């Protein structure tokens, strides 16, 4: 069933080499099915290669925008897929950190799954928030001031998080709902 909940919205997907393919493609398809326009934002222009299970090379995806050439103002919401290599590369890039912070400063919805919250830590936006992630990030998130819970999907002031690919159905449904709601006035950076 196709809806138009996200008609007219442009959604940034932040990923680089090593992104977990299903965590990129499943939310991408959910955004498209809801009428939104997904755009791949990465560290550089060109293309990125996804992986399956943090190990096996998967498909290649064309990058729409280099992170340094766009800002949160260019998009309605942000999706951050996981993958250990992907998240580890993104979290240390200061341009990526500023890009992510921009969504929180503008109170725009953000959805992050699996290892993606690593980048949220480095962007300085998790303190005082309740969220989930891949279990190995729980201590990192707690040390950064977040309340970590082991739940399928968690929403906190426009931030939607999930643990792993097994949570994608719930993640996608809640992500589309939050994106359709738009800006969240109570959301803080």
What distance in Å separates the CA atoms of residue 160 and residue 24, rounded to the nearest whole number? 15
Give catalytic status of residue 57 as yes or no: no
> Distance of alpha carbon 37 from its chain centroid, rounded?
15
Cβ neighbours for 41, distance < 8 A, ≥ 6 positions apart: 12, 13, 14, 15, 63, 64, 65, 66, 67, 70, 99
From the CB of residue 117, how many other CB atoms can be counted at a distance below 10 Å?
Answer: 31
Among candidate residues 57, 65, 107, 114, the one labeled active-site is: 114
Q: At what angle do helices 94-105 and 84-91 cross, to 10 degrees?
A: 90
Among candidate residues 65, 107, 115, 135, the one labeled active-site is: 115
Catalogue the active-site residues.
114-115
């Amino acid at each position: 069933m196709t809806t138009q909940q996200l008609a007219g919205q442009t959604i940034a997907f932040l990923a680089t080499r090593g992104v977990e393919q299903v965590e990129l493609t499943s939310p991408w398809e959910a955004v498209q099915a809801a009428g939104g326009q997904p755009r791949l934002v990465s560290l550089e222009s060109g293309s990125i290669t996804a992986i399956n299970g943090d190990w096996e090379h998967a498909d290649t995806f064309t990058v729409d925008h280099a992170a340094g050439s766009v800002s949160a103002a260019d998009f309605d919401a942000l999706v951050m897929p996981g993958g250990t290599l992907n998240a580890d590369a993104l979290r240390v890039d200061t341009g990526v950190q500023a890009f992510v912070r921009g969504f929180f400063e503008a109170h725009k919805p953000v959805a992050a799954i699996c290892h993606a919250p690593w980048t949220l830590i480095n962007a300085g936006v998790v303190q005082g928030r309740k969220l989930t992630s891949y279990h190995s990030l729980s201590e990192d998130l707690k040390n950064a001031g977040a309340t970590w819970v082991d739940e399928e999907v968690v929403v906190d002031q426009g931030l939607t998080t999930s643990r792993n690919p097994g949570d994608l159905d719930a993640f996608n449904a809640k992500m589309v709902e939050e994106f359709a709601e738009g800006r969240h006035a109570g959301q803080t950076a």
